[in-house]
């Protein structure tokens, strides 16, 4: 269970996030050109190392991508599926098949597609919950793609609400979403920002991954802001490498260079 870290506290990023079984709604906000995928894979690592269960919905990357990255981090996603620790809802494959079907009316009735998606997630939840007593996590990466394929915002909000109430809150939900920058308060707030702000309002834990405001740096890839209601924001800088990331407090990278 998540209360027994089994050495995971040695990972600086996971130690800063402090994910617990009480965290029912976790929002991962990806800003602008930043890539928050490493947050998803590190959360997977923690879920598996603490012997919890996973329902994974992929909109953004292929399963081969998560398999490759997972092996670099020390877990085998496909093996976890085979032994019953994880179930997959492969939305990339599903959307591709739906669009390539000549008789498909996908773009005419995307709400029906979302209804089928939730029913599929609910079915997977039934399967995995019935076979174990461990905590179950639903990870959706990346919710924003529902907007990209033409689903209206009301339907997306309804989908989020149903996921957050899945099995009477017995499932913790991790939702990754991308937000586009906008210039001023005078502009109409983009739909992806509306979704992200709504998630931020109800989340027990929000993890924001953003580029540096000062622009490109060879030593720092971006900023991670970790927020819990009523607590001071934890701010980290990170540097992305091929086999993972390194996190450090703001200013530490420059100090190391000066030593």
Q: List pLDDT tens digits, range 71-129.
A: 988 899 999 999 989 999 887 676 666 666 666 666 667 778 888 888 888 888 888 88
Q: How confident is the model at residue 183 (pLDDT cuts 50, 70, 90)?
A: low
When comparing pLDDT for 216 and 173, which is higher? 173
**How is residue 171 written in tokens?**
């499932």
The domain 20-207 is classified under which CATH number: 3.40.50.300, 2.60.40.420, 1.20.140.150, 1.20.1440.120?
3.40.50.300
How much is the pTM? 0.86
Average pLDDT (206-213) is: 87
Quick one: pLDDT at residue 1? 42
Query: Which residues partner with 138 through β-bridges?
Result: 55, 173
Q: List pLDDT tens digits, range 42-73.
A: 999 999 988 899 999 988 888 888 999 889 88
């Amino acid at each position: 269970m998540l209360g027994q870290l089994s050495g995971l506290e040695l990972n600086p990023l996971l130690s800063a996030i402090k994910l617990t079984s009480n965290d029912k709604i976790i929002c991962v906000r990806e800003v602008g050109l930043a890539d928050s995928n490493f947050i998803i894979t590190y959360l997977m690592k923690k879920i598996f190392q603490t012997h919890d269960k996973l329902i994974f919905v992929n909109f953004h990357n292929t399963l081969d991508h998560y398999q490759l990255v997972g092996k670099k981090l020390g877990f085998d996603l496909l093996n976890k599926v085979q032994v019953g620790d994880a179930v997959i809802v492969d939305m990339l494959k599903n959307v591709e098949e739906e669009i390539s079907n000549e008789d498909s009316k996908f773009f005419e009735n995307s709400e029906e597609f979302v209804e089928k998606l939730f029913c599929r997630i609910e079915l997977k939840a039934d399967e995995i919950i019935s076979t174990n007593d461990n905590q179950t996590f639903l990870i959706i990466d990346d919710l924003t793609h529902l907007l990209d394929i033409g689903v209206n915002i009301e339907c997306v909000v309804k989908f989020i609400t149903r996921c957050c109430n899945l099995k009477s809150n017995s499932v913790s939900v991790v939702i990754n979403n991308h937000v586009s920058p906008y210039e001023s308060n005078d502009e109409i707030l983009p739909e992806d920002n509306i979704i992200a702000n709504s998630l931020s309002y109800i989340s027990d834990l929000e993890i924001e991954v953003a580029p540096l405001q000062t622009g490109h740096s060879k030593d720092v890839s971006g900023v991670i802001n970790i927020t819990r209601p009523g607590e001071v924001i934890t701010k980290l800088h990170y540097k992305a490498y091929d086999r993972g990331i390194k996190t450090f407090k703001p200013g530490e990278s420059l100090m190391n260079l000066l030593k």
